Amino acid sequence: MTRSEVFAVAQMGPVNLADTREQVVARLIDMMRDAHSRGATWITYPELALTTFFPRYIYDTPEEYDAFFEEGLPSPAMVPLFDLARELGVGFYLGYAEKVHQDGRTRRFNTSVLVGPNGDLLGKYRKIHLPGTKEPIGDLEFEHLEKRYFEVGDMGFPTFKTPSGRFGMCICNDRRWPETFRVMALQGAEVFMLGYNTPTRNIHHHEPAYLREFHHRLSLESAAYQNAAWVMAAGKGGSEDGFAMIGGSMIVAPTGEVVARAASEDDEVITHRCDLDMGAYIRRSVFDFARHRRIEHYGLITEQTGIKVPE
């Protein structure tokens, strides 16, 4: 019996500062209905899907930036999505800014939630690789202040048992780090869901826009192939209040091939019927981890972060 299901990825066009949660959630709902009408059982939405990508702006106090955060799960803004998921039988991944009272203090994370097709909360993930700076660099077109607004995720890279198989979640910059996917694959993840917000401009040095898109795709293709898993990648496209995002949402097969790709820079649902057993032959051969991995030689990966050139 083949395990084949239709998966959807929901790219979003820009979310501007002036857009309300209600307007944004109405767009997410439209896309969930669209995905369902095409037979999808799962849909992946972008990182920080409910608001604009606010870490590009400088805010100093929680009074200024707390409006971008959600409290409670589901937060009031998410309730209509949870309800529709249950009604249609469509599971979803959603990225959002999470504010939580934990360990006796207020904490903020860049988080994604996984909700099952019956509307049940399956789990969440808190972004580990936070790019950018804590303090503004200054004299830039825009900043990237994720380290200012979020703590590093404290949940590792968990994976989740779903009615369709084992899924893992990560968020945006995590996709550029191979360790992210390998840790999830070692737990048997067959599907990686991820949302992203990638500007077309690199604030640190000049990089042509086509390279931004190329590195995004390269990361996803290698993650899929080297871990024999499906990748569902949902981003934002177009210009958020004048700040351009790369779009390029895609579904990548365990062979590393892109099987569906958004053609626009706007709200757009892409779908593909995914054979969840497609990666099995890769896991039995070239990437049979148990037979071929040589962990006795990988120690440096967890012992040090930066490069240390031996004497």
Active site residues: 47, 127, 172
Distance CA 223, CA 257 (A): 11
Residue of the chain from 197, 227, 249, 271 that contacts ligand CDV (CB under 6 A): 197
Partnered with residue 171 across adjacent β-strands are 195
169 binds ligand CDV (CB under 6 A): no
Provide the CA 233 distance to its chain's centre, in angstroms: 6
Region 34-53 residues binding ligand CDV, contact defined as CB under 6 A = 47
What is the nearest approach in angstroms of ligand CDV to the Cβ of residue 38?
28
Residue of the chain from 172, 251, 252, 269 that contacts ligand CDV (CB under 6 A): 172
Instruction: Sort 34 into a burial class: Cβ within 10 Å, 0-12 / 13-18 / 19+.
Output: middle
Distance CA 132, CA 279 (A): 34
Distance CA 279, CA 224 (A): 9
Q: Which is nearer to ligand CDV, 42 or 149 (CB)?
A: 149
148 binds ligand CDV (CB under 6 A): no
What is the nearest approach in angstroms of ligand CDV to the Cβ of residue 130?
7
11 binds ligand CDV (CB under 6 A): no
Residue of the chain from 131, 158, 178, 256 that contacts ligand CDV (CB under 6 A): 131
Query: What region does 45 belong to: left with phi over 0, alpha with psi -120 to 50, or beta?
Result: beta
Residue of the chain from 7, 65, 125, 196 that contacts ligand CDV (CB under 6 A): 196
Cβ–Cβ under 8 Å, residues 112 and 94: yes
The residues that touch ligand CDV, with contacts defined as CB under 6 A, are 47, 131, 144, 172-173, 176, 196-198
